[in-house]
Every structure is written in C-alpha cells, then in structure tokens.
Amino acid sequence: MFLTHLHCTGCGLSHDWNQLQNLCIACHKPLFADYDLASAARTFTREALATREKSLWRYRELLPLPPEVDPVSLGEGGTPLLRALRFGKELGLTNLWIKDEGQNPTQSFKARGMSVAVSMAKYLGATKLAVPSAGNAGGALAAYAARAGLEAHVFMPNDTPSANVIECRETGAHVTLIDGLITDCGAEIARRKEKEGWFDVSTLKEPYRVEGKKILGYELAEQLRWTLPDVILYPTGGGTGLIGMWKAFDEMQSLGWIEAKRPRMFSVQASGCAPIVRAFEAGATTATEFPNAQTRASGLRVPKAVGDFLMLKILRHSGGGAVAVEDEEMIRITREVGAAEGIFVAPEGAACFVALKKLLAAGKIKPDERVVIFNTGSGIKYLECYEA
C-alpha cells in the first residue's frame, strides 16, 4: 500500500488518512489522497496489468484500501472505450470515441466512486452513510452500502427520476425526498448528520470517491496504449470525474507511464444549470450558485459545486473550456447517437455530443483530432425524458 496521507486542495494542510475525514479542518476545501509514487513505480508497472481482471481494482496499488482488506465491489470499472465510426463520420471526425460508463453496476460512473468510498468508510469504522443525490449517486450508495452491510440514507429532490428512487429503496436505502435541489438535500444532511451518526459521502466532501473516479483516467490511457486523447468532453455536475482524471494524469506521469502532454478538457453543462460555464466565461476562479437551476439531465443539476475552483483550474490549464447546451438539444441528439452507435446514452452524456457539434463549428476541435466523450450513465434511468 502506497497511500501516505491526505492533503487539502486549498491550503495544503496534511490530514491523517486512517480516520474518517470530510473537508479540511482548517479551510473546508476538499482533501486529496497522496501516494508514495516513487516507491510504487519500482514495483507496480504497466506490464503488471496484463494479467489482471478488467475492473477498477486492477489498479489496487494506486487506491487507498490496505491490501489485506477486501474491497466492497460489484465488478465496477473496466468499461469499454468504443469507436464511434458512424456518428463521427457524419461530423467529419476520423477519431471519435465513447467511454461508456452506463455499463457499470448501477448503470452509471457513480459506482466507481462509491466502491472506493464505501470500502474505506467501512474499513475506518463508519456504520451509517448519507448522501445527497440527483439520482445515480444515491443508487450507487444504496447498492454498495447494502453490499457492505451498512446503513444508507439517501436524500433526493422530489422530482428525481423514478428509476433512481425505486432503485435506492429496493436496495435497502432509507430515502428522503426533499422539495428543492441537491444543495438543499446536502444542507439537510449537514443539519442532521451529527445527531444521527451519519458519515457524509457527498461529492468531494470525503476524499475517496474521487479516487474511484480517477481510475477513468488510468483506464483511458491503458485503452489508448498509454497515450492520451487530444480532447475530452465530460458532463459536469459535481465534477469528480473531471477532477479525478486530471489527478490520474499527474500520477501516471510521475510513475513514468505517460508523457507530459494533456488533453484539452471541456466541461459540458445544461443551459438551465451552468455555474462552471458562467464562471469560466467570466474569468472567475470560483463559481457562484446558479439561480433557479433547472434541467431534465438530473446529474447536471448541481447549482454550486464544492470543487468548482479545481474544475476551473483544470479547464484553463488544459486549454479547454466550458459549454452549455439546451435540454431539447440533448434529448433530441440521444436518438442520433443511438441510431448511429447502438448506445442509449443518458441525457448528461448526450449533452456532450451537442457540445461536440458546437465546438467543431467554432473551430475549437479539428476533424483529425482524437476526441473522447464520456457517457456517464444509461438512458434507461431517464425514461420520463423520452416519453414524448
């Protein structure tokens, strides 16, 4: 095991990894896990992966759980990177790819983060876990908490897609519907968690969900034979996938697995909830809360993200950007993608295909560049969006 400590992404203060931690005790910013990468590089090589099963835990040395402890797993990770030949050809793109996270347990990328977060929470002594969720994170927590024998308390907006609510209940979670947004759900957990004995596993409010999400970056590099794409389009709510991948790229460079070149990272949001887009366009380093947030892509309805400053730094450092798209556009393009590639993408993933068209038209992506779109979940979870 190469985990050494946690550090604050804001003030840099070190924290112990071997006790339950939420935000930094000094400045209340997210914590990141640090590893002894020099030692890891001596014993863990790219070649060692060849004989390992295709799962998130094939990168065990670069994850926080002690080696003698069994992870809480449902077979997450190892999702396919699919060449989008037909859809790409329609746009004049020769090298378009889709990383299909809808093939994870609980049918979304949230399974990755919850596998690691629940594994660590159980190891460190938590018995009751709580999360605010627009849908898929709640379903993932419910499933992994059940697998671990822990209590799950999920707080969701009352207009969360019914598939997500049913999924949570049928996998044993205590579900509370709130008249409000995911931020209101988070506030309710904050008010009650100490009295109720809950450990809060909200996005970036504990340090290990992002560790599960970072494996997206490791998998992507491995699937592309240890080169990174020119462009990544990522649907952004809380932003752990975007932030986690960037962390993975830095770690892989330190391990000597990849070169210094990075993809241009583009955050994709809904026009009805686009705090990162507004902040990026304004040149701000943090994002103000987006008023009256509305979008049918429930995973994008995050009016204020705790990791906003990290996302904005990544977008600018990579030479990427932020794009907002209308709900009607993302719902309409779902059928285009499905008919061309056979993938029923979630609205959040669909938003990236709309953004791709916009970026091509603006000349920000060239036809011969290698572009990867992340479809973060399955459209089957959002049937209400497509009933018309």
Residue 247 near residue 210 (C-beta atoms within 8 A) = yes
Cα distances (Å, whole numbers) of residue 118 to 53, 135, 216, 351 = 21, 17, 18, 29
Tell me the pLDDT tens digit for each residue of 281-327. Answer: 999 999 999 999 999 999 999 999 999 999 999 999 999 999 999 99
- How far the first Cα of the chain sits from its last, in Å, is 51
pLDDT at 388 over 80: no
Residue 273 near residue 246 (C-beta atoms within 8 A) = no
Report residue 381: phi and psi, to 5°.
-80, -5
Helices (DSSP H) in the chain: which residue ranges?
Answer: 37-43, 85-91, 110-123, 136-148, 162-170, 182-196, 209-223, 240-255, 275-282, 308-318, 327-341, 347-361, 383-386
Q: 279, 270, 283, 378: which is closest to 334 by C-alpha?
A: 378
Neighbouring residues of 97: CB distance < 8 A, sequence distance ≥ 6: 81, 82, 83, 84, 229, 370, 371, 372, 373
Q: What tokens were used for 119?
A: 């594994």
Tell me the pLDDT tens digit for each residue of 87-134. Answer: 999 999 999 999 999 999 999 999 999 999 999 999 999 999 999 998
- CATH 3.40.50.1100 matches 81-105+208-386: yes
Q: 346, 185, 338, 381: which is closest to 270 by C-alpha?
A: 346
Q: What is the residue whose two structure tokens read 């400045």?
A: 27
pLDDT at 86 over 80: yes
Average pLDDT value for residue range 153-170:
96
Tell me the pLDDT tens digit for each residue of 209-256. Answer: 999 999 999 999 999 999 999 999 999 999 999 999 999 999 999 999
pTM higher than 0.85, yes or no? yes
Q: 274, 218, 230, 262: which is closest to 373 by C-alpha?
A: 230
Domain boundaries, the chain: 81-105+208-386
Return the pLDDT at 387: 82
Beta bridge partners of 199: 129
**Helix axes of 347-361 and 327-341: crossing angle, nearest 10 degrees:** 90
Sheet containing 174-178: give its strands across. 174-178, 151-157, 128-132, 199-200
Return the pLDDT at 135: 86
Question: What whole-number distance in Å separates Cα of residue 72 and Cα of residue 123?
Answer: 10
Under DSSP, is residue 105 helix (H, G, I), strand (E, B) or coil? helix
Provide the Cα torsion 220, 7, 286, 295; round to 10°: 50
Return the pLDDT at 252: 98
Under DSSP, is residue 303 helix (H, G, I), strand (E, B) or coil? coil
Tell me the pLDDT tens digit for each residue of 8-43. Answer: 999 999 999 999 999 999 999 999 999 999 999 999
**Which run of H or of E encompasses 321?**
strand 321-325
Question: What whole-number distance in Å separates Cα of residue 262 and Cα of residue 283?
Answer: 21
Residue 77 near residue 219 (C-beta atoms within 8 A) = yes
